[in-house]
Chains A and B, each alone.
Chain A
């Protein structure tokens, strides 16, 4: 999708953000961090930018260095939020590496964001040069995966209140950052119900 290029500006801010992220891993020397940063695609996006539309066929994945992404579907014309991705989370809107099915969801920037843009099937020479990077990628994905697994199960097995608690635990930053009606949609309740749930839950100071 070439429209992505008109939205994004690969500028110094993005590179700096990427560099400090890579450098935060003790596995790399400053020189290695710099080399790796040059090999990775990182872009700045504005709030409202749409990365993936319903019907798109994409194997792209987006890793959030800074900002917030929202995943949503249009259900009977209604905007239904299904996920938020914040710092150090990855959004991957594909169902199968092999079949390249069309996306049923939209992915958009809920805030100005700085994202690493990659491909899930990537077998680049970058990983061959830096096996540590691949290991780190895999481990981070593992953590994210584990959280998503728990989130899915909680959503399937629990009440809205339990879902809210789950979000409080796994994505606490979200609660202040996103509009209440979207948060309510995500939890699967009306905004009024969400208010009631929040009142019921005593937040530790």
Chain B
């Protein structure tokens, strides 16, 4: 098994040590596919039938609001891409998933998942824990979005996911942070210049982003 494909088994192992049989079952059932940059995995109106684990690359989530793309999330290595409501309730999705880089994804279905749980009940335990963790992160994301200024969101993003800044076009990052591309430029200048670092505390109070 290629090193990159081991990432999923490693991910689960960090939550709970896997038996050889469990690890083998995961590897055997894994469906790994390459997706070129630009591939749309899910579109608005479509009912989702798959979930994805990112081995390599990046997937963007966005909405079309009055014809404009509003970016709401990025999923990179060791993250899950799943439209939970659409997948579990067979409801039409209200957003898009698209690869913003050439990516390698593990593609899963509910059926495959349930089969694995039947054979290896401990995998359901792992799944529950994963879900709880990702759910917590989601709730945190919501709370942050509601209370942080754009500049704070920028800082947090820079700290938590600095790799995104090399990989994602500026206008998409701006959308994600909730500002215009011009505002994002201004925020970056304020933060990266030595004078900016000191004065941006004042600027934050005085001027909008």
Q: Judging by beta carbons under 8 Å apart, are A95 and B72 in contact?
A: no
A110 and B70 CA atoms in complex are apart in Å by 33
By a CB distance below 8 angstroms, the chain B residues around A137 are 128
A98 and B16 CA atoms in complex are apart in Å by 12
Q: Judging by beta carbons under 8 Å apart, are A153 and B94 in contact?
A: yes
Of A96, A104, A139, A156, which is within 8 A of B145 by CB? Answer: A156
CB-contacts of A141-189 with B (<8 A): 141-153, 155-158, 186, 188
Q: Judging by beta carbons under 8 Å apart, are B89 and A146 in contact?
A: yes
A198 at the B interface (CB under 8 A)? no
Q: Judging by beta carbons under 8 Å apart, are B132 and A148 in contact?
A: no
Told that A142-B84, A152-B72 touch, could you supply 9 new A-B pairs with CB distance under 8 A? A73-B147, A82-B143, A92-B132, A93-B140, A104-B143, A134-B121, A137-B128, A139-B88, A141-B132
The interface size bin for chain B is 35 or more
Of A105, A131, A134, which is within 8 A of B143 by CB? Answer: A105
Of B70, B125, B137, B147, which is within 8 A of A123 by CB? Answer: B125
CB-contacts of A73-115 with B (<8 A): 73, 75, 80, 82-83, 90-98, 104-105
B13 at the A interface (CB under 8 A)? no
Residues A149 and B84 in contact in the complex (CB < 8 Å), given A123-B125, A134-B128: yes
Residue of B whose beta carbon sits closest to that of A95: B140
Residues A141 and B145 in contact in the complex (CB < 8 Å), given A131-B121, A150-B85: no
B193 at the A interface (CB under 8 A)? no
Residue of B whose beta carbon sits closest to that of A150: B85
B172 at the A interface (CB under 8 A)? no
In angstroms, how far is the closest chain A Cβ from the Cβ of B137?
6
By a CB distance below 8 angstroms, the chain B residues around A47 are none
A171 and B16 CA atoms in complex are apart in Å by 35
By a CB distance below 8 angstroms, the chain B residues around A156 are 70, 72, 145, 178
Q: Judging by beta carbons under 8 Å apart, are A142 and B131 in contact?
A: yes
In angstroms, how far is the closest chain A Cβ from the Cβ of B23?
18
A116 and B65 CA atoms in complex are apart in Å by 39
By a CB distance below 8 angstroms, the chain B residues around A134 are 121, 124-125, 128
Q: Judging by beta carbons under 8 Å apart, are A97 and B88 in contact?
A: no
Q: Judging by beta carbons under 8 Å apart, are A120 and B125 in contact?
A: no
Q: Judging by beta carbons under 8 Å apart, are B63 and A157 in contact?
A: yes
A123 and B129 CA atoms in complex are apart in Å by 9
A142 and B16 CA atoms in complex are apart in Å by 20
Q: List 16 A-B contacts (CB under 8 A).
A: A73-B147, A104-B140, A121-B132, A123-B16, A135-B124, A138-B124, A142-B84, A143-B88, A146-B84, A146-B89, A147-B85, A152-B142, A153-B73, A156-B72, A157-B63, A188-B146
What secondary structure prevails in chain B residues at the interface with A?
Answer: helix
Q: Judging by beta carbons under 8 Å apart, are A149 and B89 in contact?
A: no
Q: Judging by beta carbons under 8 Å apart, are B129 and A148 in contact?
A: no
By a CB distance below 8 angstroms, the chain A residues around B146 are 80, 82, 155, 186, 188
A153 and B121 CA atoms in complex are apart in Å by 33
Of A61, A82, A96, which is within 8 A of B137 by CB? Answer: A96
By a CB distance below 8 angstroms, the chain A residues around B61 are 153
Q: Judging by beta carbons under 8 Å apart, are A104 and B142 in contact?
A: no
By a CB distance below 8 angstroms, the chain A residues around B70 are 156-157
CB-contacts of B117-167 with A (<8 A): 117, 121, 124-125, 127-129, 131-147
Residue of A whose beta carbon sits closest to that of B132: A120
Q: Judging by beta carbons under 8 Å apart, are B147 and A94 in contact?
A: no
In angstroms, how far is the closest chain B Cβ from the Cβ of A155?
6
A21 at the B interface (CB under 8 A)? no
